[in-house]
Structure 1
Amino acid sequence: MPDRPEHRLLLVHAHPDDETIGQGATMAKYVAEGRGVTLVTCTAGEMGEILVPELAHLAADQEDTLGEHRRGEIANAMAELGVTDHRWLGGFGTYRDSGMAWHPDGHAIGDPEVIAKHPNAFWNADLTEAADRLVPVIREVQPQVLVTYDQFGGYGHPDHIQAHRVAMYAAQLAAVPSYRLDLGEPWEIAKIYWGAMSESRMRQGLRMLREAGDTTSFEGMDPDGPLPPFVTADENLAAGVDATDYVDRKMAALRAYPTQVTTDGPFFALSNNVGATAWGLEFYRIAKGELGPLGEDGLETDLFAGL
C-alpha cells in the first residue's frame, strides 16, 4: 500500500475503555506523529457496571443493550484520540463479555453464570478459531509492534486473559509461511509488549492522593503496602512512552465512557493531584523482540525503537 504509514501499531483489548485506560496517550501521540494505530476490541463489554442511573435499563438483566451503547462510546473515544482504524474481533457481537466476579484473594475471575448462559462468551471461545479472526488483521495491517495484556490480564479478568492468549497465538500463526494463506500473506510482528503500570509511580501517586486527603480513590491500596497484580515492579519495565502532551486527549476519551468512568473517579483524581504524568506516561513490558536505544531512565522511550 503506497499510503501505509512507516510505523504501524496494533493493540488488542478486551472491552471498550480498556485501550484508553492503558494506552490512550500513546495512541494519541502516535496518531499525531503520523504512525498507524489499529485497535481490535474483542467484546462490547456487555456485562460492564453501569455508572449512569438513567441508563440502568441497558443492563444485561434488563434490556441487555449495553454492548450497543458502548459501541457508540468507543467510537466517540477513538474520535478523541484520533484513531480511525478500529475493529471488532470477528465483527461486532461475535464475542460477548464473559462477566466478572471477585476471588477472595482480591483478583478478578469469570462469572460462572454468564459463561454458562452465553456460548459466545469470550472465555468460551476456541483459541484457534478466535486467533484465526485476528490473523487476517495482522497480515493486512502488517504491524511492527503489538500491544496487549500480560498472561494474567492485569488483574485476572477472563476476557483480558483471553485477549492475551488470542493476541499472542495469532501473532505466532500469522508469521508461519505455510499457515492459512487464505488469510493473507505471512507477517511476523517484530516487537510485542504487554501494558504495565509502574510500581514506583503508582506508589507516588497514591501517596499524593492520601496527602491531599483523598482516601476513597483506589480504596484499600496503601502507598507503602502490597499492591494489586496489575502494578509492575520497575525492574520488569522495558519502555515508558512520554505522551504527557496528549493526556488531555486521553482524559477526553475517558469522558466518552460515561457508563464506565466517572469524572470524579480515581483516574481523574490521580490526574488532578499528580498532574499529566499520572496518565500521560505509559509503561510496557517487552514480550518479544530486541530492545532499541534506551533513555536516561534505562527504558525505551518509543515502542518502535530499534526498528
Structure 2
Amino acid sequence: MPETPEQRLLLVHAHPDDETINQGATMARYVAEGRGVTLVTCTAGEMGEVLVPDLEHLAAHREDALGEHRRGELAEAMEVLGVTDHRFLGGFGAYRDSGMKWHEDGHAIPADEVHDNAFWHADLTEAADHLVRVVREVRPQVLVTYDQFGGYGHPDHIQAHRVAMYGMLLAGVSSYRLDLGEPWEITKAYWGAMSESRMRESLRAIRATGDTETFAGMDPDGDLPPFITPDDLITARVDGSSHVEQKMHALKQHRTQVEVDGPFFSGAESGHAFWAEESFRIVRGTPAPGPEGYETDLFAGL
C-alpha cells in the first residue's frame, strides 16, 4: 500500500479543465515533489460549448453526451499532471453543469433555464457533506478553490466556492456527522487569483504585435474584468515554470473546451510565458511570505 504523503493539497473545481487552467502547474509541481494532490470536480461540464466541430453532436442540445466525454478528457489531463486522486463531488453524475449566460456588464450569470439536477440548485449542506467525507479521508493541510464570485460569476464556480468553504468548516467540527469520518481541520485555504500587473503586462505585449483578438475588449490601461485580482490582495505566487509544459499539454487534453490556436497557446504572450506562475489569496491560516513579500509555497509555515 503506498505511503501517504506528509503534505497534502485538496482542490475544489466546478468543471473539467478549470483545474488545469487555474492551477495545473502548481498541481504538477507538488506531485513531482512528492506531495499529495487530490482534485474534486463538482460537475462533468455537461453544458460546455463544444469547440471541436467533429464532436458537436455531444452537446447538451443534441445528444447530451458531453459529460461522459469530458470525464475522459479530465482523466487524460490528470495523467499528464501526475494526479492520481481525482473525484467527482458525490460521485460522477451527482450534480449537473448548471450552464450560464453573459450579463451585459461582461460577467457570467445563471442561464434562463437551469436543469433540476444542476449544481446551482444543490442543497448546500448535502453537497458540503460529500466534501466533508473527502476532507476527513484525505486530511489535507491546504485547500484551494475560487473566490466568492467564482472568478467571473459562473454559477457553478460560485457554488463550488460555497461548498468548499462550508465543507472545510464542517469537516473540522468535532461533533459534526462522525459517520463521515474523523474530524479534520484544514490549516490553510486559498482562493485562486490572476494578477492584475501580470495581465496588464501580457496585454501590452499582445497589443504591441497588433493582435486585437486575444483577450478581445481588454485594455491594458483600462478597467479589467472581475476575474483579475489587484496585486495587493495576492499573498502567494507559485513558480510553476518547470512544469508549465506539462500544464499546457494537460490543457490540450480538454479538446472540446480549448482551441489549440487560441489565446492559451498562441500570440505574443503564449502559455509558456504567461501561465507558468499561479497566484493565490490566503483566506485561512497564517501566511509565511518570502523575501519578496509573497509566499512561494502554499505549504509555507506548516
8 Å contact from structure 1 (residues 147, 195) kept in 2: yes
2:223 counterpart SS class = coil
8 Å contact from structure 2 (residues 191, 280) kept in 1: yes
Q: What's the TM-score, normalizing by structure 1?
A: 0.96
Cross-structure match for 1:306: 301
Percent identity, aligned pairs only, is: 71
Cross-structure match for 1:267: 264
Give matches, 1:17-36, under 5 Å.
Answer: 17-36=17-36
Give matches, 1:151-230, under 5 Å.
Answer: 151-230=148-227
Q: Distance in 2 between matches of 1:245 and 1:57?
A: 38
Q: Distance in 1 between matches of 2:271 and 2:68?
A: 33
Structure 1 residue 213, shift from structure 2 partner: 2.2
Structure 1 residue 214, shift from structure 2 partner: 1.6
Cross-structure match for 2:84: 84
Q: Distance in 1 between matches of 2:198 and 2:251?
A: 20
**More displaced, 103-112 or 240-249?**
103-112
8 Å contact from structure 1 (residues 212, 273) kept in 2: no
1:169 counterpart SS class = helix
Residues 1:140 and 2:164 aligned together: no
List gaps (5 residues or longer) in structure 2: none
In the superposition, relative to structure 1, how do residues 74 and 2 fare at CA in structure 2: closer, same or farther (>3 Å)?
A: closer
**More displaced, 276-285 or 9-18?**
276-285
**Cα deviations by residue, 1:266-299 (Å, 9 ceiling, x for unpaired):** 11135x635634111000001110001x223210
Aligned residue type for 1:9: L
Cross-structure match for 2:272: 276
Q: Distance in 2 between matches of 1:296 and 1:203?
A: 24
Q: Distance in 2 between matches of 1:59 and 1:221?
A: 29
Residues 1:290 and 2:260 aligned together: no
1:39 counterpart SS class = strand
1:133 counterpart SS class = helix
Aligned residue type for 1:281: E
Q: Distance in 2 between matches of 1:136 and 1:245?
A: 33
8 Å contact from structure 1 (residues 145, 191) kept in 2: yes
2:266 counterpart SS class = helix
Cross-structure match for 1:234: 231
8 Å contact from structure 1 (residues 205, 274) kept in 2: no
Structure 1 residue 112, shift from structure 2 partner: 2.4
Q: Distance in 1 between matches of 2:227 and 2:167?
A: 24
Q: Distance in 1 between matches of 2:270 and 2:47?
A: 31
Q: Distance in 2 between matches of 1:112 and 1:126?
A: 20
8 Å contact from structure 1 (residues 46, 97) kept in 2: yes
1:192 counterpart SS class = strand
2:16 counterpart SS class = coil
Cross-structure match for 1:74: 74
Structure 1 or 2: larger helix share?
1
8 Å contact from structure 2 (residues 265, 271) kept in 1: no
In the superposition, relative to structure 1, how do residues 63 and 127 fare at CA in structure 2: closer, same or farther (>3 Å)?
A: same
Q: What's the TM-score, normalizing by structure 2?
A: 0.98
8 Å contact from structure 2 (residues 264, 270) kept in 1: no
Return structure 1 stretches of 4+ with deviation > 6 angstroms. none
**Cα deviations by residue, 1:157-211 (Å, 9 ceiling, x for unpaired):** 0000000000000000000000000000000000000000000000001110111
Q: Distance in 1 between matches of 2:28 and 2:2?
A: 23
Structure 1 residue 119, shift from structure 2 partner: 1.5
Cross-structure match for 1:64: 64
Structure 1 residue 219, shift from structure 2 partner: 0.5
8 Å contact from structure 2 (residues 147, 191) kept in 1: yes
Aligned residue type for 2:168: A
Structure 1 residue 104, shift from structure 2 partner: 1.2
Aligned alpha-carbon RMSD (Å):
1.2
Q: Distance in 2 between matches of 1:167 and 1:236?
A: 20
Q: Distance in 1 between matches of 2:270 and 2:21?
A: 16
